[in-house]
Amino acid sequence: MRLLLDTATFLWWMIGSPSIPKATRTVVSDPENDVLVSAVSAWEIAVKHRLGKLPLPEQPETLLPRERERHGFRSLALDEASALHLPRLPLLHKDPFDRMLVCQAVEHSLALVTPDRTLRQYPIRTLWPEG
């Protein structure tokens, strides 16, 4: 399975948060699955950190690549096809970072790993058990 972690999930994964359900942890940890973190998430984290809305133990440019590699996740660049998919999305969600993650999930046939119920309303495959 090919998975794209949303920004919150990646941040929670980095700190070992109990907010991630056990079933989700099992799937993400499975070495048979290809787990990706988008450059869009890196951008969102960098912006929020710079604005003082997201404290981090070190600068994002050092922390994020190291954590992504430590957990065996691959980086997903933002490509033109994903960016151009944006006008085709219904306006269910206002956050531009989240909307772009949905576009990437569509364009790359990825399951989006997200606790965000609004994102799970898009016509994409998602992974996050209710509970």
pLDDT tens digits along 38-93: 999 999 999 999 999 999 999 999 999 999 999 999 999 999 999 999 999 999 98
Pick the closest to residue 70 from 117, 129, 15 (CA basis): 15
- Count up the domains in the chain and report the number: 1
Answer for the pair 90, 123: CB distance below 8 angstroms, yes or no.
no
- Residue 43: Cβ within 10 Å count: 16
CATH code where residue 104 lies: 3.40.50.1010
Q: Mention every residue, 6+ apart, whose C-beta is less than 8 A from residue 49.
A: 55, 56, 59, 60
**What is the model's pLDDT at position 129?**
85
Confidence category of residue 130, pLDDT binned at 50, 70, 90: confident
- The model's pTM is 0.95
Range(s) of the domain holding residue 47: 2-127
